[in-house]
Structure 1
Amino acid sequence: MERSVFGGGGVAQSDSVSASAIVAQTVKGSHVLKIDGYSRVKASAGSGKFISSGEFVVGGITWDIRHRPAPQAQPCHGRRGKLRVQLARRRRRASPVVFLWQGHAHALSSRADTGFGCRRFIMRKALRGSAYLKDDCFSVRCDVTVSTTAVRIPRSVAVPPPDMHQHIGRLLESQVGTDVTFQVGEETFAAHRLVLAARSPVFMAQLFGPMKERSTGHVRIDDMDPRVFRTMLHFIYTDSLPDMDSGDDARAMAQHLLVAADRYDMERLKLTCEDRLCDYINTGTAATTLVLAELHGSRGLKEACFEFLKSPGNLKATMDCDEFQHLTNSCPSLLSELLANVAP
C-alpha cells in the first residue's frame, strides 16, 4: 500500500508498507536400528569406533545412528531440531528409556558422565539384565524432528495458465515457415515438419527418414477425407479437438479420427476419440463400434461396449440389427469374446 502526503511547499512525500511472514515448519521421521549379536559387536569394536546404521533422510538431511560399543564422547555439530531415542519394548510393563535432545547435535553416548542429557541413557550393566536385551539382540528407535523456517513474501503476481498451444495453433493458421504440403483429396494443406514429427513417430519417419517425402516436401494421401485430416492437424498443433456438431456427423468424425490416430501412432488423440465414442454406444451402434475397437486395438472402447451389452435387453436388440451380421462376418473371434464377457 502506498500513500501520498502533500506537506508545506508542495513537496510530495510517500509512505510505503510491505509485508512478509516467517513460517516455522517441522518434518518428522523414524528409523529402527537392530543390534543382533550384541556381545560379539561389543567385543570386536575398539575404543572410539562405531557401527553405523543405514542412512535415512528426514527434512532433506541424511542421518544415521551410530552405535559405539566402547563409548567415547565426541561433539558433533548438526542441525537444529528434536531427537527422541528409545529402546524397543520387549514386555508390556517395560518402560522405554528415552533421551530427549533439542538444540545443536551431540554424539549420543551411553556414558553417564559425558554428553548432553546422556544420564537418561541405560547403563550397559543394566542393559544386560533388562528385558530389552533378548537372545543377545536389542533394537533402538530414533525419532527425528527437523525444524525449519522459511520467509514468505506475499506476491501480487498472477501467473496465467499455459498458452503454448495457442501460439502453435496460430502458427498453423498463419502458415509462416511451413515446409511441407499434403495433398488430401482435392485439398492442399501446408504444415511444419518439426511440429508434425514431434507429435507423431510416423510423421517423424516419413518426413525425416529415408522416404521420398523427405526430399520432395510433398505428401499425397488418397484414403482420408480432407475434413478428417484438417481436424487431425488442429489436434497436432493445439492438443485439442475443435468444436464439432453432435449427432451422427460427430460420431462419424470420431470414428475416422480414431483410425487416423491409430495410423499415425497418436495415442492421446486415439484415446480422446475412444472417450467420445463411448457416448454414442447404443443398440444401433454397439456392433460396429465393437468391430472398430477390435481392428484398432481400442481396449477401453471395447470394454465400454461389453458393459453396455451385459444388459439382456441391449444384447437382444443389438443382435437383431443388421450391423450385428457385419460383426459375425468380419470378426468371428470377437463374437466369442463378446459372449464370454456378457454371459451371466
Structure 2
Amino acid sequence: MIDSCSFSHQFKFNYLETEKFAIGHFVSSKDISAGGHLWRIVCYPRGCGREEHNGEYLSIYLVRMCEPKDDDIKATLEASVMDRGGALFSSHRRKVTHSIDRKVTGFPRFVKRSVLDSFYLTNGSFIITCDLKVMRKEPLDVPPSDVGSHLGHLLDCADGSDVSFVVDGEKFPAHWAVLAARSPVFKAQLLGSMAGANMSSITLHGIAPATFKVLLRFMYTDACPVDDELGDSPDDMFAHLLAAADRFVLDRLKILCARKLWDNISVDRVAATLICAETHNCPQLKKKCIDFIVEENNFKKVVLTHGFVQLAQQFPSILDDLREKVGA
C-alpha cells in the first residue's frame, strides 16, 4: 500500500544571464510538502562551488528541509533538459533516489554548460524540468499477539497434558514442553539429569496452591496476574510470587512482582518488602526499599514497626547499610 505524491517544477534560464552568476549561486523552488516532509529543488546554473567542477556544470539537488519523522518513505528526483522542440531529451535525463538519512541528494554534474549552449538553447534560453515523487509505505495492520490467549486456553482445558504437579494435595495438569521452555529449573527437572523414568506426576513443597496456580498461568501467557487472581491481599500474593519466580528462575515475573510491591510501598510494609527482596535476591527492590527507609520523614516511623524488628533479627547486616546511609 503506497501513498504517492508527485510534483513537477521547471527552471527556465537565459543562458547569457547565467554567465553572470557566481559559482555556488542558486535558484530554488518554494517548499514542497509531501509525505510528511518539506522538500525543495535547488538548481546551481554554474555548479555548486566544488573546485573540481570549476563552473563547467549545471547542478541540481533535492533538499529535505525538515528532520525525518520516520524512515518508511522514499523520494525520487528525476531531472531532464528540454530540447528545442519541447521534448525531454533522453540523453540528459537523470534519476536519483533520496536516502532518508541524508538531507541532500542530486546531480552535482548534471549537464555541461557547453552542451547546453550547443544543443538546448531556444531564443537564448534553456529549460530544466524536475519531477519529485514521494512515496510513503502504509504498513498493513497487524493484530496483537494471541499466543498467550491460545496457550492460556491450552492450560485451562488441559488438552494433551503430559505432566501434573501436586501442590498441597491439589493437582495441576500441564505440558512439560511449555514448562521446560520457560524455566531452566523445570527443564532440568523434566528433561535433564534430574529427570526420572516416570515424571508424569511431581509433588512440590514450599509453595501454596494459589501461588502455583498464578505462577503456572504466567508461564503460559507471560501476563501479569489480574486482580481476581490475587486473593484478599495482593501484596502478599506478589511477595509469594516473587519468591516462586526466584525459585524457578522466571526473571520477568520477578521484576513484575517487585514493581507491584514497590508501587504499593508504605511505612508499614517497607520492612517486609525489604526482607522479601533480600531473601529472594532482588537487588533492585532492595535498593529502593533502603532509599525509602532512610528518608528523614520515614526512618523514625519505620523503626517503630513490627516488620523492622523482624528485619533486624533476620538481616542484621542491613542495619549497617541503613546506619551508613542515615549517617551520610
TM-score range, shorter chain: 0.5 to 0.7
Aligned CA distance change for structure 1 residues 151 and 188 (closer, same or farther; 3 Å): same
Instruction: Give yes or no for contact 2:190–2:199 (8 Å, CA) kept in 1.
Output: no
Q: Extract unaligned runs of 5+ from structure 2.
A: 7-33, 38-72, 74-93, 99-103, 114-130
Higher strand fraction: Structure 1 or Structure 2? 2
How does 1:43-62 map onto structure 2 within 5 Å? none
Q: Post-superposition shift, 1:188?
A: 0.4
1:174 to 143, 157, 164: 157
Instruction: Give yes or no for contact 2:231–2:237 (8 Å, CA) kept in 1.
Output: no
Aligned to 2:273: 289
How does 1:265-344 map onto structure 2 within 5 Å? 265-344=249-328
How does 1:49-88 map onto structure 2 within 5 Å? 80=96
Q: Post-superposition shift, 1:209?
A: 0.6
Aligned AA (1:160): P
Aligned to 1:260: 244
Secondary structure, in 3 states, of the residue corresponding to 1:219?
strand
Deviations 1:196-238 (A, max 9, x none): 1111111111111122456322211021100000000111111
How does 1:134-149 map onto structure 2 within 5 Å? none
Aligned to 2:169: 186
1:240 to 202, 223, 226: 223
- Sequence identity (%): 35
1:210 equivalenced with 2:226 (yes/no): no
Aligned CA distance change for structure 1 residues 294 and 80 (closer, same or farther; 3 Å): same
Instruction: Give yes or no for contact 2:218–2:224 (8 Å, CA) kept in 1.
Output: yes
Q: Extract unaligned runs of 5+ from structure 1.
A: 1-17, 27-58, 60-77, 83-99, 107-114, 118-146
Aligned CA distance change for structure 1 residues 307 and 175 (closer, same or farther; 3 Å): same
Aligned residues: 229
Moved more, 218-227 or 307-316: 307-316
Deviations 1:137-164 (A, max 9, x none): xxxxxxxxxx996655768x54321111
Distance, in Å, in 1 between the alignment partners of 2:296 and 2:241 is 31
Aligned CA distance change for structure 1 residues 20 and 309 (closer, same or farther; 3 Å): closer
Distance, in Å, in 2 between the alignment partners of 1:208 and 1:316 is 52
Distance, in Å, in 1 between the alignment partners of 2:198 and 2:306 is 48
User: How high is the TM-score relative to the length of structure 2?
Assistant: 0.59
Distance, in Å, in 2 between the alignment partners of 1:216 and 1:273 is 30
Distance, in Å, in 1 between the alignment partners of 2:107 and 2:143 is 43
Aligned to 1:50: none
Aligned to 1:219: 202
Instruction: Give yes or no for contact 1:179–1:193 (8 Å, CA) kept in 2.
Output: yes
Distance, in Å, in 1 between the alignment partners of 2:218 and 2:196 is 22
Deviations 1:65-103 (A, max 9, x none): xxxxxxxxxxxxx98369xxxxxxxxxxxxxxxxx9944
What is the RMSD computed on CA atoms of the aligned residues? 3.9
Q: Post-superposition shift, 1:343?
A: 3.6
Distance, in Å, in 2 between the alignment partners of 1:265 and 1:154 is 41
